[in-house]
A = this chain, B = another copy of it.
Amino acid sequence: MLELAVLGLLHEAPLHGYELRQRLKATLGAFRAFSYGSLYPTLRRMKDAGWIAEDEGDATVVAGAPALTGRRGKVVYKLTAEGKERFTELLAEAGPSSWEDETFGVHFAFFSKTDPDVRVRILEGRRSRLEERREGARSRLARTRGRLDSYTLQLQEHGLDSVDREVRWLTELIETERKKRPDAHTEPR
């Protein structure tokens, strides 16, 4: 997850950790926090995996001098060739994981770099996921309505409304996508 987000952000420009976090908050803040506590370990993992590399900012650690207060410069990361590959690869796969709550937002954020077919498939996957959830909630609610105290009820209904809203949003998006490419449709074959 964070991995995909980082790949996407670095795909546009090299960044150091702090900036990365700012961008993360800016684009995905509504859905996930992505604190430093996961960012830095992820950066290390990705560096070890070879997706990203340090790009020597203004560090210029003079070999002789440091030892104490070793003047640590910014650590700027950039995508490697393998990293770019990995990014396209991740963007291409539209599996069930792409439309889970946590994942969907990140995928969506990079839709402009995603294949149109994949876009539609993800949007539809997300929508039916939500519709499932909504039906479950609805029937459960109908079944237990009487026994619920008013707060629990309010909570259920607010939740249901939110899901409804997102479903409508997705439907609009899907239609827009369709209009752009009238030849693509749900069932290939």
Beta-carbon contact of A112 and B149 below 8 Å: yes
Q: Mark A20-64, 1 if CB is under 8 A from B, else 0.
A: 000000110111000000000000000000000000000000000
Neighbouring B residues of A155 by C-beta, 8 Å = 27, 30, 105, 108-109
Docked complex: A66-109 residues within 8 A CB-CB of B: 105, 108-109
Beta-carbon contact of B151 and A111 below 8 Å: yes
List residues of A whose CB falls within 8 A of some B CB: 26-27, 29-31, 105, 108-112, 133, 136-137, 140, 144, 149-152, 154-156, 158-163, 165-166, 169, 173
Beta-carbon contact of A109 and B169 below 8 Å: no
How many Å lie between the Cα of A169 and that of B155 in the bound state? 10
Neighbouring B residues of A166 by C-beta, 8 Å = 158
**Which of B112, B152, B160 touches A109 (beta carbons < 8 Å)?**
B152
Neighbouring B residues of A140 by C-beta, 8 Å = 26
A147 to chain B, nearest CB (A): 10
**CB nearest neighbor in B for A160:** B30
How many Å lie between the Cα of A120 and that of B27 in the bound state? 32
Neighbouring B residues of A173 by C-beta, 8 Å = 154
**CB nearest neighbor in B for A159:** B30
A4 to chain B, nearest CB (A): 15
A176 to chain B, nearest CB (A): 9
Neighbouring B residues of A109 by C-beta, 8 Å = 151-152, 155
How many Å lie between the Cα of A169 and that of B30 in the bound state? 18
**CB nearest neighbor in B for A136:** B29
Beta-carbon contact of B151 and A108 below 8 Å: yes
A26-B144, A112-B149 in contact; A31/B158 too (CB < 8 A)? Answer: no
A113 to chain B, nearest CB (A): 9
A158-B169, A162-B162 in contact; A30/B137 too (CB < 8 A)? Answer: yes
Beta-carbon contact of B111 and A159 below 8 Å: no
